[in-house]
Amino acid sequence: MNGNSTRPQANPPPSGIYVPVPTFFAQESHPSYNPTTPPLDLQTQSAHSLFLVRGGIKGLVLLGSTGEAIFTSDSERTELIASQRKTLDDAGYKDRPIIAGTATQRIDEAVEMIKQSKEAGAEFAMVLGPGYFAPSTGQTGIQKWFEAVADQAVLPVMIYHYPGVTNNLYIAPSTFEKLAAHPNIVGTKLSHGIIDDQTLIAASPKIDHSHFSVFTGLGQNLLPVLAIGGVAAIDGLAGIFPRLVVRLFNLFNESLEKGISKEDMRAMRDLQFRICEGEKLVARWGVVGVKEACARVWGMGGKGGGRLPLAGGFEEGEGEWKKWEGIFSGLRELEERFKAEGKEG
């Protein structure tokens, strides 16, 4: 299978809701501002990280797709990870892991990024599939590519399956069954809505699910994915309303423990509906929408997206936010109500 079959079995990240954190960049008032590559805004980054973990988020995914990993330099990656590890540790959240993303086609480069991420303070690596030659790439090639990375990686590896940013690269459930047997591959983030494939992975009797965790990358699928054996979500809307998504996760697990009642199911469906309403913005606008909402709802960061070509925010301008304003005002009220109840965080 691979050259590392005697390697000790690594453990997956702790179960819970994780956030693919946006990378915040400085605004025009910053003395070193550059319109094409604005510098990191670590003050806002840290404020956002603490906002999330105080809202019950189990850990942070830095430098994934939402984190604009492809627009950051190696030195910025190190600075970002190290700063957030220190922020969490200093605030008493040493138990909240950081998962660092990679987005490269080269095995050696992915391995080096993982090494740098560990040195900066990350505990896990989330590795995006190699999609440049996706139409010509067979399942055997995909399997061997991930195994080669995992063989050499100094952190436990999670497979990041996001066809939307990998030229529609397809990783079959049967390939996941093989990859899950690797001692250094500990889970996956599935950022697609193919529920039957998610079921064939999350419920597969051929996978040891104590060592391989399935996370949905779509909060709008959280309840169905939990029902089929998924662990939780790495979710964009949770970066804006952490308690909302954590509440659904907790309610499912608490009701499963005591026996799910009709009232529990109704409450879970209501929460999933509200999450789906908000996720429509994330699905449409991605990182641009997440940053816009963080700025407008909570005053964190600036409106207008990230680095080019994402700078500029909504193409339709102010009128676009008005389409979402009512939904997000309602979600903010719900988030603040959950905060007042004090069950998360």
Q: Give which of 228, 249, 287, 246 is closest to 66, Cα–Cα.
A: 287
Segment 323-336 shows an average pLDDT of 97
Show which residues are catalytic: 160, 189
Segment 49-70 shows an average pLDDT of 97
Asked if residue 232 has pLDDT above 70, the reply is: yes
What b/e string do you get for 297-329 counting C-beta neighbours within 10 Å, with b at 16 or more?
A: beebbbbbbbbeebeebbeeeeebbeebeeebe
Residues near 46 by beta carbon (within 8 Å), at least 6 away in sequence: 83, 84, 87
List the structure tokens of 278.
Answer: 């908000």
Asked if residue 345 has pLDDT above 50, the reply is: yes
- From residue 343, alpha-carbon distances to 54, 96, 336 in Å are 11, 18, 12
Residue 343's CB is within 10 A of a number of other CB atoms, namely: 13
Q: Give which of 232, 181, 170 is closest to 204, Cα–Cα.
A: 181
Say whether 199 sits in a helix, a strand or coil: helix
Query: What is the spatial distance between Cα 165 and Cα 130, in angstroms, rounded to a whole number?
Result: 10
Residue 36: predicted pLDDT: 81
Asked if residue 32 has pLDDT above 90, the reply is: no
- CA 161 to chain centroid, in Å, comes to 11
Segment 109-125 shows an average pLDDT of 98
Say whether 312 sits in a helix, a strand or coil: coil
pLDDT digits (tens, 9 = 90+) for 245-278: 999 999 999 999 999 999 999 999 999 999 999 9
Residue 266: predicted pLDDT: 97
- Output DSSP code: residue 297: H
Asked if residue 29 has pLDDT above 80, the reply is: no
Say whether 112 sits in a helix, a strand or coil: helix
Q: What average pLDDT is seen over the chain?
A: 94
Residues near 309 by beta carbon (within 8 Å), at least 6 away in sequence: none
Q: Which long-range contacts (CB under 8 A, 24 or more apart) does 286-292 make?
A: 286/65, 286/66, 286/236, 287/22, 287/65, 287/66, 287/67, 287/68, 288/313, 288/314, 290/22, 290/66, 290/236, 290/239, 290/240, 291/22, 291/24, 292/321
Structure confidence at residue 344 as a pLDDT band (50, 70, 90): confident
Residues near 269 by beta carbon (within 8 Å), at least 6 away in sequence: 223
Residue 251: predicted pLDDT: 96
Query: What is the spatial distance between Cα 46 and Cα 43, in angstroms, rounded to a whole number?
Result: 5
List the structure tokens of 338.
Answer: 């959950």
Burial group, residue 40, by CB count within 10 angstroms (0-12, 13-18, 19+): middle
pLDDT digits (tens, 9 = 90+) for 122-149: 999 999 999 999 999 999 999 999 999 9
Asked if residue 1 has pLDDT above 60, the reply is: no
Query: What is the spatial distance between Cα 316 and Cα 328, in angstroms, rounded to a whole number?
Result: 18
- Output DSSP code: residue 104: -
Query: What is the spatial distance between Cα 209 and Cα 32, in angstroms, rounded to a whole number?
Result: 48
For domain 18-341, the question of CATH label 3.90.420.10 is answered with no
Residue 240: predicted pLDDT: 98
- CA 88 to chain centroid, in Å, comes to 17
Segment 152-160 shows an average pLDDT of 98
Residue 33: predicted pLDDT: 79
pTM score: 0.95
pLDDT digits (tens, 9 = 90+) for 177-210: 999 999 999 999 999 999 999 999 999 999 999 9
Residue bearing the bigger pLDDT, 4 or 80: 80
Asked if residue 235 has pLDDT above 50, the reply is: yes
Query: What is the spatial distance between Cα 182 and Cα 330, in angstroms, rounded to a whole number?
Result: 44
Phi, psi (deg, nearest 5) at residue 294 = -60, -40
